[in-house]
Amino acid sequence: MVFPNGPFIRPHPIIWRIVFGLSVMYVLLLQFTLFQTYDNVKSALTWLDPEGLGMKKLKEKEYAVDCWNVSLERIWSYMDIFAVGHFLGWAMKALLIRHSIICWYISISWELTEVLFAHLLPNFQECWWDAIFLDVIICNGLGIWFGLLVCRLLEMRTFHWESIKNIRTTRGKFKRAVLQFTPESWIKVDCK
């Protein structure tokens, strides 16, 4: 597969081509998995991780228990693989978005989504202090800060996100909204 270079040039475009190639392979694996039965997928995952995924029912930690009992030991016990996932995920998102206010907006919006859909997914049920302090402020906030710090250290290009408020006319706002769904630039292809 041959694809053009992406918008990322640092540390080197070949690194971003490798990341893109791995992403394409991952999507192909997911598409292949969609056509398999549940038992086949479960047996393949059990082969990869016999101890964790070999169980009939996975153990889930309950996070929304005794929310009034807040102590330093209890807060520390909530620092698990999900805390690392929050930190690393937001560090990567900050590397891509490169704008702290947009990152904070998305972070808070996602935590509100977890609260609103906690009745559908039991894994979303967590104490109020877990959502506000551990997820948003500590894990996501440190991840956003670290991602933006890496952007500054690697001297990555900053994005100046254009607000629709900066466009004065209604016609200009409508034109910008329509152009949002088109490519940034058109490439003329001559197939001779």
State phi, psi for 44 to the nearest 5 degrees: -65, -40
Do residues 124 and 118 lie in contact, with contact meaning Cβ atoms separated by under 8 Å? Answer: yes
Both 103 and 145 in one domain: the answer is yes
Both 94 and 54 in one domain: the answer is no
Per-residue confidence (pLDDT) for residue 1, from 0 to 100: 63
Both 162 and 107 in one domain: the answer is yes
Per-residue confidence (pLDDT) for residue 28, from 0 to 100: 97
Both 51 and 74 in one domain: the answer is no
Per-residue confidence (pLDDT) for residue 82, from 0 to 100: 84
Q: In order along the chain (192 residues), what is the average pLDDT of each group of 10 residues?
A: 71 84 95 94 88 72 75 78 92 94 94 89 81 88 97 88 84 87 76 75
Both 19 and 102 in one domain: the answer is no
Both 94 and 189 in one domain: the answer is yes
Nearest to 104 by CA among 60, 148, 69: 148
Per-residue confidence (pLDDT) for residue 16, from 0 to 100: 83
The domain tally of the chain equals 2
Residues 6+ away with beta carbon under 8 Å from 129: 67, 70, 75
Range of the domain at 129: 62-192
Domain final residue, candidates 59, 78, 106: 59
